[in-house]
Structure 1
Amino acid sequence: MSDQRQHEGMDRRRFLQSTAAVGAGLAIAPSILAQAGGTASDDINVALLGAGAQGQILMNACLQIPGVRFKAVCDIWEAYNLRRVSRLLDRYGHKNNTYTDYKEMLDKEKGNIDAVIVATPDFWHAEHAIACMEAGLDVYCEKEMSNELAKAKQMVEAQRRTGKLLQIGHQRRSNPRYLHCYEKVIQQARMLGRITTANGQWNRGAQEPLGWPTNAVIDEATLAKYGFKSMEQFRNWRWYKGLGGGPIVDLGSHQIDIYSWFLNATPKGVIASGGTDYYDKNTHEWYDSVLAIYDFETKDGVVRAFYQVLTTNSSQGYFETFMGDQGTLMISEAAGRGSVYREQGAHVPEWDRWVKLGLIAEPQRVETKDDSGAVLDVRETVPAQEYLIPIDMEGKPYHQPHLENFFNAMRGKEKLTCPGEVGYETAVMVLRTNEAVEAQRRLEFGKDEFHV
């Protein structure tokens, strides 16, 4: 087999793999088809701007929400993303118009849509979100707000100027399990006591570059118009500086946002180490791994937080842990993790009361017997008692509660859980972390750096 044919075969495999998971989530439920047939006075008409993998995930979540109707789809990959998503929406009963140019969409759909979901590459977010708000539309914009802080700031300023809603896609902010842990475990009961340390990670296994069908190539002129040098770059934009922000932005942003939220603080400084140690630097301009340490000044004292993101090994997946002198919270967006662990010195009757109040579930059995024959070291600690978090997602996709919050805010029923000002704080943290890796030294955050 020639090198060219081998490369094309690999591209096709990677393309199919990258779209299979998205397609699997788009099975048409009869209940969704039934609700798509009618209209109501409070229906929200939506356009999807960016119909790639993430856009399709958000679309799928929206289709589970009553009263949301897609009217338009815009994507520059007309031969694949645009046609595929438009046809899927048609099958759901959402008759829609298609566009490759967002400006044309905003012009022709004026008066026909109420909101836009922006799921384009990071370097387009600011231009797209600002244009939509200035067109009088509310915006749900995927994170990161931008790969440039100046442009992220412009998004917040545009929101204030237009008065439109701007929800940033840090979906854990609306996740019922995270809300329960923040409001009940940390704020109300203070189960963890004084939090001293946090850590988290998102590890992913090594992957080949994403490919594309040879019969659906975007022409060079169109790619250049929208900021891409090739199909390779278009499909793998997250790895290129100036287009994406690397894994600390793509993955770490979600979790570092949780540090700031749960600690009610922003960091004073960051030390970070990273590099492109595994992949070809010509195709992976961003670091393939980053290790970072932040220090947060909270009202109870300093909290040191460690974060690790890997793209070469998937060990233990992704989670966040908050550790205090009375207990530990481990939580993840994945349903398999969500527990509070009681320290040996914690007041047991208090924990029993919290179980009765439903803040935590009955404790899990702790196995302390050691059958290995080894003699326990005096420095070892008895395993902490585990209490599960008694809240689940009720079968909803991860992004659905956050989108529900956005649409409910449009109806005046709720406040946004992640408005632009909050998303901007996280953008500062992660984009400056990339700077810390580059500088190879600790970077300090200014007191006013997180505010617009």
Structure 2
Amino acid sequence: MNTEVTSTLSRRDFITKGAAGAGLMMGAPSILKAGPAGTADDPVRVGFIGCGKQHEVLFNAMVNIPGIKYVAAADIMKDRLGRTFGAIRGRFDTSIKRYLSVEEMLEKEADNMDAVFVATPDFWHAPHTVMALEAGVHVYCEKMMSNTLEGARSMVDAMDRTGKLCQIGHQRRSNPRYQFTLEELIKKHKICGQIININGQWNRALSSSQDIVSKPSILPEADVLREAGFNNGTDKKLTQEELRHRFLNWRFYKALSGGPISDLGAHQIDIFNWFLDARPTSVMASGGRSYFKDREHFDNVMCVFDYETPQGNARAFYQVLTTTSAGGGYYESFMGTDGTIEISEREAYTNIYKESGADGAKWDELVSRGYLKKEAAGVAAGGSDAIASYESAPPDKYALPGGLSKPPHQPHIENFLDAIRGKAKLTCDARHALESEAPIYWVNPAAESKEIIKFTDEHLHT
């Protein structure tokens, strides 16, 4: 496939048409299709496994995509099923079948569904995905793939064994802003030069990290929660109140999730691996239960990954904090010898900086072609010659014109639907997701042991 673009292709064209419409290949395994996914004459029949908050995020990203027929939903919480039923009926004037059991839904509805969207707690991702694939249904599963490496591996095995599609919810892989930045700015025009350092963060305010509570009257009974595995990881017979706390706050428990580093950090560490086209060789980490002392997982984690890339070695620092917003923002920063790219799903946190020694003519050409937008020049701080000798002048700052005019999950869902129709390849199938996620499973052990973990094939399940 042609990997070049003509000088008349602007960034807006790229975002409007998509990668395939622009004649670009995003690198294995991703190829995007131009235009919206599907029509009412070619509907993809879908079901939902899990109808909580993340399901709502996915559903809100789906409502403007044509060519979807909603068939069924499964959740152990009747209230959530009722809200899902009402949302679909209110928006599309159609009814879905509701099930309290995933097994029953797949047994009765698999022949009526092309795909399911899995948005259950992490420890259920692998079992639910494998069940659906073996029932002959394509799967879109939220990240992380599982709370264990073995669970993630089982999803890849099931995908290979059944021949069904399995898209993992690293939605930035389908985001035109990220694709354009990687393919055009980093790979083709090399505006960063040699990328040596990477930084990423996701900081969450204390007010957003408190225990989740709900009306007891709408929550499942203790026997239902035990059967659903919310007593995993303890030999103690938990009370109904304790089980309900685990049900609502499963992210706090080691047997149910990987904690903040997987819940929040997985998205961004995936971008490190994708943009570098490499997997880390080692990780060191530190973390603590500095505020939420009764939680099993650390409430703050900082880690450093080492990489060997075609350009040379590189280091990536990542922090996830649940006790402060630290000024706000979640983003990734790629720092090179010629420039730095800060990128995020939020346009306000996307900025590009040119180093003083970089090729100015190349950057000016990118501005003239609409790839970059130059902002007002920075003003150097006053001070003595001694200060100037060790403080660099503010670099020229640029922005990416335009932005994504749809919910950030929508392009990833569109890619999944197009792949089902045979019009695209998945941008993040289970195999590629496992390759990217595997190092993340070792961050918590590295933080617990205070030791550097050097990765082997055994660590990474290759």
TM-score, length-normalised on structure 1? 0.88
- Aligned mates of 2:395, 2:433 — CA distance in 1: 35
Which of 388, 404, 416 does residue 406 from structure 1 map onto? Answer: 416
- Aligned mates of 1:159, 1:214 — CA distance in 2: 38
Which of 303, 307, 324 does residue 313 from structure 1 map onto? Answer: 324
1:204-261 CA-partner distances (Å, limit 9, x unpaired): 0113200011321311100100012411110000010110110000000000000000
Task: State yes or no: 1:378 paired with 2:389.
Answer: yes
Task: State yes or no: 1:180 paired with 2:180.
Answer: yes
What SS does the aligned partner of 2:112 have? coil
Q: How does 1:63-82 map to 2 (within 5 A)?
A: 63-78=63-78, 80-82=79-81
- Aligned mates of 2:107, 2:197 — CA distance in 1: 51
What SS does the aligned partner of 1:277 have? coil
Match for residue 263 of structure 1? 276
Deviation at 1:159, TM superposition (A): 0.4
What SS does the aligned partner of 1:86 have? helix
Deviation at 1:41, TM superposition (A): 3.5
What is the aligned-residue identity percentage?
43
- Aligned mates of 1:365, 1:376 — CA distance in 2: 24
Deviates more, 1:349-358 or 1:299-308: 349-358
Match for residue 257 of structure 2? 244
1:249-299 CA-partner distances (Å, limit 9, x unpaired): 000000000000000000000000012111032xx2111000000111000
Match for residue 147 of structure 2? 147
Match for residue 116 of structure 2? 116
The Cα RMSD (Å) is: 1.8
Q: How does 1:34-433 map to 2 (within 5 A)?
A: 40-78=40-78, 80-93=79-92, 94-206=94-206, 207-229=209-231, 230-281=243-294, 284-315=295-326, 316-361=328-373, 363-368=374-379, 370=381, 376-394=387-405, 396-433=406-443
Match for residue 445 of structure 1? 455
Deviation at 1:354, TM superposition (A): 1.5
Q: Which runs of 5+ in 2 are unaligned?
A: 1-38, 232-242
1:148-186 CA-partner distances (Å, limit 9, x unpaired): 111111110110111100000001111111111111111
Tell me the amino acid that sits aligned with residue 266 of structure 1: R
Change (3 A) 1:447 1:224: closer
- Aligned mates of 2:195, 2:184 — CA distance in 1: 15
What SS does the aligned partner of 1:92 have? helix
CA contact (8 A) 2:283 2:304 kept: yes
CA contact (8 A) 1:177 1:391 kept: no
1:376-432 CA-partner distances (Å, limit 9, x unpaired): 4421111111111124111x1111111011001111111111011121123211111
- Aligned mates of 1:234, 1:123 — CA distance in 2: 12
- Aligned mates of 2:215, 2:363 — CA distance in 1: 57
Deviation at 1:75, TM superposition (A): 0.6
Deviation at 1:82, TM superposition (A): 1.1
Q: How does 1:16-35 map to 2 (within 5 A)?
A: none
- Aligned mates of 1:312, 1:264 — CA distance in 2: 32
Change (3 A) 1:373 1:303: closer
CA contact (8 A) 2:266 2:437 kept: yes
1:293-340 CA-partner distances (Å, limit 9, x unpaired): 011100010011100000000013211000110000001111212222
- Aligned mates of 1:238, 1:87 — CA distance in 2: 27
Deviation at 1:375, TM superposition (A): 8.3
Tell me the amino acid that sits aligned with residue 133 of structure 1: L
Deviates more, 1:365-374 or 1:247-256: 365-374
Deviates more, 1:363-372 or 1:409-418: 363-372
Tell me the amino acid that sits aligned with residue 42 of structure 1: D
- Aligned mates of 2:332, 2:149 — CA distance in 1: 25
Tell me the amino acid that sits aligned with residue 143 of structure 2: K
- Aligned mates of 1:211, 1:140 — CA distance in 2: 28
- Aligned mates of 1:177, 1:335 — CA distance in 2: 9
CA contact (8 A) 2:202 2:321 kept: yes
What SS does the aligned partner of 2:363 have? helix
Tell me the amino acid that sits aligned with residue 104 of structure 1: E
What SS does the aligned partner of 2:287 have? strand
Which 4+ stretches in 1 moved above 6 angstroms? 371-375
CA contact (8 A) 1:248 1:290 kept: yes
- Aligned mates of 1:208, 1:331 — CA distance in 2: 28
Tell me the amino acid that sits aligned with residue 313 of structure 2: V
Match for residue 239 of structure 2? none
- Aligned mates of 1:373, 1:303 — CA distance in 2: 34
Q: How many residues align?
A: 410
Tell me the amino acid that sits aligned with residue 92 of structure 1: R
